[in-house]
């Protein structure tokens, strides 16, 4: 899995990569620029438009000069705007790439840029080398960039955004950020979504193993991480191997939560799904999900279930007792979602009873409810680590780039998903998927990795056709396609 390094570690990573592969830093910059231009050709930006490239004096600017040359070579109309006044301040790579600019590319200074121009702007002013408070001229450059009405694409990181910290000052407000090698941590903070726009990760040939010598507890989960995590089943596998699970979900008026969780678990591969619901609500489940069994009271022997989930749509009323009973009579990890999380926050004495290794799946509001109000994502992740270690539990913080927080302090950021998944019931689907994988014998970590990634991928598949019309049932329908896309039997 790809490790997320700090901005300061980038130089050491580059140096090691360059030495190991016998290439120069200029070669690596060329790879970055080539990757950027290859991606550029895939995005829906009008080819005929003028491209304005703002270049700083460091290697981010160097990327910009190289990109200018390559875009010019592929027939685009390019102008470069230099954001520095002394050549002496330039990095050798930036200088070298500036020297390589063909004479047809106009070279101007940033103050000559007319923000009312047509076209597209590429921001290669400041990258991960930015630190401290922006100097006053840099603030003016950023203001000029932001006053441009057209689309803005940031190279590596929006200029002014610190790579690992919260934004505390002006910053380029990008429509796209194309980041190299690994996503900079700050690109994954929800509070920065307004400045990062759509984030894409561009491969510049640094292998995952080259990150191993660096310390770090943050990881980025991608498609190629999934297949190796799955269990293999064979032709003699029977439904018992695929797990018997119990889902405690739904209440009067919220039975959809039970139906969505149970159907998602079945579509994820569960052998036998039992739904615990109030007797008067049973028909709705039996008619909507005939493959699921229904029980009206908590079975005496819970150990016959390979996994249990509790929470979606159960209501907070008297369910604290139910939670306590399950915790006392079941030793395997449980998936706790939605109302179960609220109940825990109202009855904190129950936390000590939750089976070790259980998975709590709060969205941001539920997170604050159970762990206390958080100011920002940095604060949230720190609190999450403390909580997971203290109680020996796992948290899956839901949102764009959902984060898996493990008791050993690791944070795994998910890369799959789309804004079209912001729809009622999507969380119930995730609960069903996580419980299904636990029931199929996956460790909590593996269940969360496969569950969160495939949930996001199912949302992407559904969203390709249905866009903002995507509903939770569409995500469920797409779960089997995720196995097909990932080549998993
Ligand atoms: N592996 C990779 O990811 C690769 C990344 N590349 C690109 O390189 C940059 C990092 O380049 P670096 O030269 O280290 O730094 P930057 O260009 O990001 O920034 C240096 C310039 O920023 C100025 N600066 C710094 N702090 C401030 C501030 N507070 N106010 C104003 N200006 C500031 C600094 O000016 P100085 O006068 O202080 O020197 C520099 O001009 C990375 O982001 C990628 O884009 C490689 O191309 C390939 C591999
Ligand atoms: K930039």
User: DSSP labels for 358-396?
Assistant: -EE---HHHHHHHH---SSHHHHHHHHHHHHHHHT-EEE
- Do 239 and 257 meet the contact criterion of CB atoms below 8 Å apart? no
Stretch 127-143: mean pLDDT: 97
The pLDDT assigned to 459 comes to: 98
CB within 8 A of 259, min separation 6: which ones? 250, 284, 285, 288, 289
Going by CA atoms, what residue is nearest to atom 15 of ligand 1?
Answer: 129
Q: For 43-59, how does the pLDDT look when each residue is reduced to its tens digit (9 = 90+)?
A: 887 777 899 999 999 99
Stretch 195-202: mean pLDDT: 96
Return the DSSP state at 57.
S
pLDDT for 431 beyond 90: yes
| Max CA pair span of the chain | 81
The pLDDT assigned to 196 comes to: 97
Instruction: Judge if the beta carbon of residue 155 lies within 6 A of ligand 1.
Output: yes
Ligand 2 centre distance from Cα of residue 155 (Å): 4
Task: Grade residue 237 by pLDDT with cuts at 50, 70 and 90.
Answer: confident
pLDDT for 232 beyond 90: no
Q: Choose which residue among 35, 127, 137 to substitute to test ligand 1 binding: the one with the highest number of ligand atoms within 8 A of its C-beta.
A: 127
Positions at the binding site for K(+) = 60, 123, 159
Q: Delineate the domains of the chain, giving CATH numbers in brackets.
A: 2-212 (3.40.50.10260), 227-485 (3.40.1190.20)
- Pick the closest to residue 216 from 449, 444, 9 (CA basis): 9
Pick the atom of ligand 1 nearest to 66's CA: 47
Q: For 371-401, how does the pLDDT look when each residue is reduced to its tens digit (9 = 90+)?
A: 999 999 999 999 999 999 999 999 999 999 9
Q: For 465-476, how does the pLDDT look when each residue is reduced to its tens digit (9 = 90+)?
A: 999 999 999 999
Q: Choose which residue among 27, 88, 126, 138 to substitute to test ligand 1 binding: the one with the highest number of ligand atoms within 8 A of its C-beta.
A: 126
Going by CA atoms, what residue is nearest to atom 28 of ligand 1?
Answer: 134
The pLDDT assigned to 208 comes to: 84
- Pick the closest to residue 361 from 377, 384, 382, 383 (CA basis): 384
Stretch 356-372: mean pLDDT: 97
Tokens found for residue 107? 């070279």
Ligand 2 centre distance from Cα of residue 246 (Å): 49
Ligand 2 centre distance from Cα of residue 63 (Å): 9
Stretch 156-179: mean pLDDT: 97
pLDDT for 412 beyond 80: yes
Stretch 330-347: mean pLDDT: 97
CB within 8 A of 209, min separation 6: which ones? none
Looking at the chain, the whole-number percentage of residues with pLDDT higher than 90 is 93
Positions at the binding site for (6S)-NADPHX = 59-63, 127-133, 156, 257, 313, 363, 428
Q: For 201-231, how does the pLDDT look when each residue is reduced to its tens digit (9 = 90+)?
A: 999 999 988 998 899 999 999 999 999 999 8
Task: Grade residue 235 by pLDDT with cuts at 50, 70 and 90.
Answer: confident
Return the DSSP state at 6.
-
- Pick the closest to residue 64 from 92, 32, 42 (CA basis): 32
Q: Choose which residue among 10, 129, 153, 169 to substitute to test ligand 1 binding: the one with the highest number of ligand atoms within 8 A of its C-beta.
A: 129
The pLDDT assigned to 190 comes to: 94
The pLDDT assigned to 236 comes to: 82
Give CA–CA dist 95/100, Å, rounded.
9
Measured at the CA of 133, the angle between CA 131 and CA 134, to 5 degrees, comes to: 90
Return the DSSP state at 47.
T
Which residues surround the ion ligand 2 when the cut-off is CB under 5 Å?
A: 123, 154-155, 159
């Amino acid at each position: 899995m790809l490790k997320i390094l700090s901005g300061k570690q980038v130089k050491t990573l580059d140096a090691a990569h360059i030495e190991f592969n016998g290439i120069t830093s200029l070669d690596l910059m060329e790879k970055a620029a080539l990757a950027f231009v290859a991606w550029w050709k895939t995005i829906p930006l009008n080819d005929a438009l003028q491209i304005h490239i703002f270049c700083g004096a460091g290697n981010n600017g160097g990327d910009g000069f190289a990109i200018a040359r390559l875009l010019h070579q592929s027939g685009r109309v390019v102008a470069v705007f230099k954001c520095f006044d002394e050549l002496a301040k330039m990095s050798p790579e930036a200088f070298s790439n500036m020297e390589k600019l063909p004479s047809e590319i106009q070279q101007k200074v940033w103050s000559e840029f007319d923000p009312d121009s047509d076209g597209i702007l590429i921001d290669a002013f400041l990258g991960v080398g930015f630190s401290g408070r922006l100097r006053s001229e840099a603030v003016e450059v950023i203001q000029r960039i932001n006053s441009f009405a057209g689309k803005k694409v940031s190279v590596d990181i929006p200029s002014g955004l610190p790579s690992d910290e919260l934004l505390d000052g002006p910053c380029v407000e990008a429509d796209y950020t194309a980041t190299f090698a690994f996503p900079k941590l700050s690109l994954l903070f929800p509070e920065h979504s307004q400045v990062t726009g759509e984030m894409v990760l561009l491969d510049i040939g640094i292998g995952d193993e080259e990150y191993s010598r660096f310390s770090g507890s943050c990881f980025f989960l991608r498609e190629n991480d999934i297949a190796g995590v799955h269990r293999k089943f064979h032709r003699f596998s029977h439904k018992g191997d695929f797990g018997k699970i119990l889902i405690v979900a739904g209440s009067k008026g919220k039975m959809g939560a039970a139906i969505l969780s149970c159907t998602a678990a079945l579509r994820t591969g569960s052998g036998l799904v039992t739904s615990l619901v109030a007797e008067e609500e049973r028909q709705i489940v039996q008619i909507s999900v005939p493959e699921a069994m229904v029980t009206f009271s908590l079975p005496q022997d819970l150990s016959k279930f390979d996994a249990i989930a509790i929470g979606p749509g159960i209501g907070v009323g008297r369910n604290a007792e139910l939670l306590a009973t399950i915790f006392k009579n079941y030793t395997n990890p449980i998936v706790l979602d939605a109302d179960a999380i609220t109940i825990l926050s109202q009855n904190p004495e129950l936390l000590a009873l939750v089976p070790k290794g259980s998975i709590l799946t709060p969205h941001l509001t539920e997170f604050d409810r159970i762990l206390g109000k958080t100011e920002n994502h940095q604060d949230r992740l720190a609190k999450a680590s403390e909580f997971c270690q203290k109680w020996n539990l796992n948290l899956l913080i839901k949102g764009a780039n959902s984060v898996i927080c493990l008791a050993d302090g690791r944070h795994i950021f998910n890369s799959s998903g789309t804004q079209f998944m912001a729809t009622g019931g999507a969380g119930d689907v995730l609960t069903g998927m996580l419980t299904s994988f636990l029931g199929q014998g996956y460790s909590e970590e593996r269940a969360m990795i496969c569950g969160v990634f495939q949930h996001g991928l199912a949302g992407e598949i559904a969203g390709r056709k249905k866009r903002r019309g995507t509903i939770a049932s569409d995500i469920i329908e797409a779960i089997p396609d995720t196995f097909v896309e990932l080549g998993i039997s």
